[in-house]
Amino acid sequence: MSLDAVIRSALDAGGLEYRDEGAGRFFVTLPGTRKLQTNCWLIEAEHALVVEAFVCRQPDEAHEEVYRYLLRRNARLYGVHYTIDGNGDIYLVGRIGKHAVTAEELDRVLGQVLEAADGDFNTLLEIGFATAIRREWGWRESRGESLANLEPFRRLVERDGAVRPLHDRT
């Protein structure tokens, strides 16, 4: 079975949404809960299948803490690792030797991509975007807008169990 056929079969079996871009390139959408979706490229290279997934944009703040978190997290990942691009945006990348690409291995690696991207997403936002989250909370609160998707970050705006007044937020 060709590599393309193995990939298509694995993606179909997993019920995943994807586009076959031709020339050994597949664009896969992995559904999540915290990060609603993770877009992932599967690209056939000369000796390997390259896996590349965007996780989040460059953090606004606390870069050193974010990168420390990512480096520590790399030690527990299977088949992929965190990296940053030239803009500082965060990705998961990996390579599977062509001879090792099976439906099971692809499922394992894509499962790891989803677990990491979705599971680490809120932590990365808390560390690298805390000020922006506080500002967004205050803006929405002052206008009576929904805070539903910001609820996981409530502790960033609370002090002693109470939401801080807008003018007291930094």
- For residue 32, give its domain range: 3-121
Give the residue, 170 or 21, on which the prediction is more confident: 21
CATH number of the domain where residue 64 is located: 3.30.1460.10
Decide: pTM greater than 0.85: yes
User: Which pLDDT score is estimated for 159?
Assistant: 63
Q: What is the number of structural domains in the chain?
A: 2
Is-contact 69 127, C-beta < 8 A? yes
- d(Cα 66, Cα 145) in Å, to the nearest integer? 29
Residue 158 and residue 107 in one domain: no
Q: By CB neighbour count within 10 A (0-12 exposed, 13-18 middle, 19+ buried), where does 42 fall? A: buried
- Residues 62-119: pLDDT tens digits? 999 999 999 999 999 999 999 999 999 999 999 999 999 999 999 999 999 999 999 9
Strand-pair partners of 94:
51
- Residues 110-162: pLDDT tens digits? 999 999 999 999 999 999 999 999 999 999 999 999 988 899 899 888 864 55
